[in-house]
Structure 1
Amino acid sequence: MKIDWVPGDHLGLQMPAHTEAFIKGGPEFLTQAFQASGILPNDNCVTDVTGFQEISGGSTGRKLIVSVDYEKPSPELHNDLFVKFSRDFDDVHRDAAKTQMELEVLFALLSRDPGFPIAVPTCYYSDYHHQSGTGILITQRIPYGFHGVEKLYPKCLDYQMPEPLNHYKALITALARLSGAHKAGRLSSVVEEYFPFEPEKLSVSQRKPYTPEKICEKVVQYAQFSHDYPQILPKNIRSEAFIARIKEEAPKFQALEAVAKKILQSDSELTALCHWNAHVDNAWFWRDASGPLECGLMDWGNASQMNLAMAIWGCLSAAELTIWDNHLDELLELFAEEYKQAGGGTIDLQKLNLHLKIYVGMMGLAWMLDAPKLILAKVPDLNHVDDRLDPRIQRSERGRSQLLIMSVFLNFWQKQNMQEVIDYMTNYSN
């Protein structure tokens, strides 16, 4: 059932549930909302909405870009804003994901703290109605391509991005600074209320795990996929030796999934508040004078306290294989150093590396062996493509993303001693 206005659970204001209600609310609603959030003084107001456009994208909710005028303009007030709703009443599948915004709303409220340790879009108003799953988030609009901000980089197109390593260093630095600040107790006390550690949340979607026998079937299906479309896969993950190895190791790993979760859930030293999906398309980048590349992070749906391996995989899973093959140790060391400087303490790099192997193995088996079927659905003429960078693959975000992230997972498995990890988990459970 479509609703128009609901009361926010946190700021108490009646808020619009969709674009038509937002338009009707106009400057009066925006003034009340911005004053309620504290970003607009009571002696100032929004006088006009001078621009309004609905935009597509993302997997949840409707989105708008708007421009506003203030009675008393100020350099601290942005005229260009981004509006995101949790609801899409015209699309039942997108609307079903409405609950994802609840944590994003809470994070936006948290980010209003003046001492927040990383750059995020300035929050103008954010609230959520838990009972109906209705929420709205209003932030500054990031000026991609203007005022020193780099253009937006789509997911899984890093080969078109300049200096990929420096961009991932900026992302890893931001993640570490946030997690370290939380661990040091430098964030508001509401973190524990809004984002309590819930050990069972090692992925953002829960489903019944595959059995070892089912994993074996999926490896066989992947082997057939690699045989049919070798031109789109790296040689090392389609070799007979690797197929034979993962066919043996993957079911054994899957049989230990409960042990893997226990290991990742039980180590408080590697648990902190972080972003679960810090891909380049959820960030913006800039460089101040001659300093290092900096970044801010957005799209904080499903933000939570998590095992740090989850955050690192969420950041690097869409990176090119060269980042994993040549720079993984460097990036893990950077994370540990920035985390320590932020007050989080010393991270055992050997343990972090082990947790990363366990998490990548667990999540890869849970999701990425399903990728061949999804790739074929998105790129039905796969027989005719030349290679992974063929435009028929690259213009499908879902197709290219599934292909690259599956390749990252399998390449990581091939390069690591996963039998050693299996042995560790087996001994841990005894």
Structure 2
Amino acid sequence: MVAPIDWIRGDMLGLDLPAHPQSLEQGGPDFLTRAFRAAGAIAADNAVTHITEFRDCPGGSTGKKLFLGVEYARDEPGLHRQLFVKFSRDFDSERRDAARIQMELEVRFALLSRDPNFPIAVAKCYFSDFHAETGTGILITQRAVFGENGVEPHYGKCLDYLMPDQIGHYRAIIRALGRLAGTHKAGKLSSDVERYFPFEPEKLDVSARNAYSPEQIGRRVARYAEFAKTYAHLLPAQIRDEAFIAQLADQAPRFQQMLPAVRKELMSHPDLIALCHWNANIDNAWFWRDEDGAVECGLLDWGNVSQMNLAMALWGCLSAAETDLWNAHLDELLAIFVAEFESAGGPKLDVELLHLHLALYIGEMGLAWMLDAPPLILSMVPDLAEVQDRTDPRLANRESARNQLVIMSNFLNFWRGYDYGRVLEFLTTK
């Protein structure tokens, strides 16, 4: 158990902020009024008068979360009564509390998004602040109420086969990502972006771990080959093909040897580095239809938001999509991203270069993590031999296992479809 903090002065808005739900409840409407005024969410002569809902929100990998309901002294355009509260801290769990620093960028992004001309839909920020020395923060936003008032139901990660119009939903997310990144590159966002969200790949690198040696990669490919034989019915045919696995066994260790060149290339094109969401999977969005019936979206969960190589943002969005969607629509989605990026004011991008960077990033990320998926899946689904297919509840209802299977499949499917022989030749020149 972590020693608790009750209240601490935030670094940005200068208010004492509650570090856990009990403190927030004790602060009540008086604290919420001060906080919402300080963040510009309500007018100086408006107030929170009552708390109508205060209940735990389960899940997540870091701090405590709440569903919060409020009443105001008077209505204002755009005010929400159903809110969501996220704390950086969980004083009941040392493991969860250890991840508290992840929230700092999300808090700063929420304050940035208060700009009325912000280019994409995000949950409206009512209050957000962080104390960097202790990693203590709070974020209060509009709550995305799924399945009501024209908002579609929430879609689970790696369950896209249950979602209607899959490509329509991914077009919406890709447009939002391109618009945000292009707006940043056009210099239309606050100058705080460069101060608070610099390009620091060593901090953002979610594949950071001690890199496997080429020999270790070779052994992991051999382990995957056995998994593909035993559980062939759970994998797309093209990634269990013996010729492909032999190709992977040859190319993957050589790619691993060239990681310094991969990382150098991913940092060498400023036009391909911009502020973006690194994990815009389908479960981190809410959706509605416009007057013409087209899908629109807002994006949630901005942890680790920063400037990044755009390949990271694209993989973060598409990694959990259906493999068939990758095969049928990747070129279209890249074209949509590039067009939206340029329309928002960003520089003209070379689609082929973007595609190459996507291949480099997927190669690095996949070899760092996804070849470890087979034993993880087996540990989470010990009766995997009895599972009929991906929709079998014994697999589908175990989120981490199904995620590992789908993302591994997409990594390997991309490797099979892209010419990694040409990638290796390119890297030898770097």
Smaller-chain TM-score bracket: over 0.9
Deviations 1:365-389 (A, max 9, x none): 0110111121112111101101122
Please state whether the residue corresponding to 1:277 is helix, strand or coil.
Answer: coil
Work out whether 1:400 is the aligned partner of 2:384. no
- Which of 138, 141, 144 is matched with 1:139 structurally? 141
In the alignment, is the contact (CA less than 8 A) between 1:202 and 1:310 conserved in 2? no
Please state whether the residue corresponding to 1:99 is helix, strand or coil.
Answer: helix
- Aligned-residue offset at 1:198: 1.3
Work out whether 1:297 is the aligned partner of 2:309. no
1:26-425 mapped onto 2 (5 Å cutoff): 26-201=28-203, 203-204=205-206, 206-425=208-427
**Structural RMSD (CA):** 1.0
Amino acid paired to 1:348:
D
Please state whether the residue corresponding to 1:142 is helix, strand or coil.
Answer: coil
Identity %: 58
Deviates more, 1:62-71 or 1:73-82: 73-82
In the alignment, is the contact (CA less than 8 A) between 1:204 and 1:302 conserved in 2? no
Amino acid paired to 1:419:
G
Amino acid paired to 2:90:
D
| Distance in 2 of aligned mates of 1:110 and 1:377 | 42
| Distance in 2 of aligned mates of 1:172 and 1:105 | 23
- Aligned-residue offset at 1:415: 1.2
In the alignment, is the contact (CA less than 8 A) between 2:204 and 2:304 conserved in 1? no
Please state whether the residue corresponding to 2:245 is helix, strand or coil.
Answer: helix
| Distance in 1 of aligned mates of 2:189 and 2:300 | 18
In the alignment, is the contact (CA less than 8 A) between 1:200 and 1:265 conserved in 2? no
Please state whether the residue corresponding to 2:138 is helix, strand or coil.
Answer: strand
Please state whether the residue corresponding to 1:57 is helix, strand or coil.
Answer: coil
Structure 2 residue runs of 5 or longer lacking an equivalent are: none
Amino acid paired to 1:140:
Q
In the alignment, is the contact (CA less than 8 A) between 2:207 and 2:369 conserved in 1? no
TM-score of the superposition, structure 1-length normalised?
Answer: 0.98
Deviates more, 1:69-78 or 1:46-55: 69-78
Please state whether the residue corresponding to 1:65 is helix, strand or coil.
Answer: strand
In the alignment, is the contact (CA less than 8 A) between 1:202 and 1:261 conserved in 2? no
- Aligned-residue offset at 1:330: 0.4
Please state whether the residue corresponding to 1:196 is helix, strand or coil.
Answer: coil
In the alignment, is the contact (CA less than 8 A) between 2:147 and 2:154 conserved in 1? yes
| Distance in 2 of aligned mates of 1:201 and 1:347 | 26
- Aligned-residue offset at 1:200: 2.9
Q: Tell me the equivalent position of 1:8.
A: 10
- Aligned-residue offset at 1:401: 0.4
TM-score of the superposition, structure 2-length normalised?
Answer: 0.98
| Distance in 2 of aligned mates of 1:4 and 1:123 | 22
Deviations 1:22-49 (A, max 9, x none): 1111111101110111111221111110
Deviations 1:55-111 (A, max 9, x none): 111111111001101111233211110000111111121111111100000000000
- Aligned-residue offset at 1:292: 2.2
| Distance in 1 of aligned mates of 2:143 and 2:227 | 42
| Distance in 2 of aligned mates of 1:23 and 1:129 | 20
| Distance in 2 of aligned mates of 1:291 and 1:389 | 29
| Distance in 1 of aligned mates of 2:244 and 2:186 | 43
Please state whether the residue corresponding to 1:266 is helix, strand or coil.
Answer: coil
Deviations 1:196-236 (A, max 9, x none): 11143462352111111111111111112112211211121
Amino acid paired to 2:426:
Y
Please state whether the residue corresponding to 2:122 is helix, strand or coil.
Answer: coil
| Distance in 1 of aligned mates of 2:208 and 2:259 | 13
Alignment coverage as a number of residue pairs: 428
Q: Cα distance 1:307–1:372, how it changes in 2: closer, same or farther (>3 A)? A: same
Q: Cα distance 1:246–1:135, how it changes in 2: closer, same or farther (>3 A)? A: same
| Distance in 2 of aligned mates of 1:117 and 1:110 | 11
Structure 1 residue runs of 5 or longer lacking an equivalent are: none
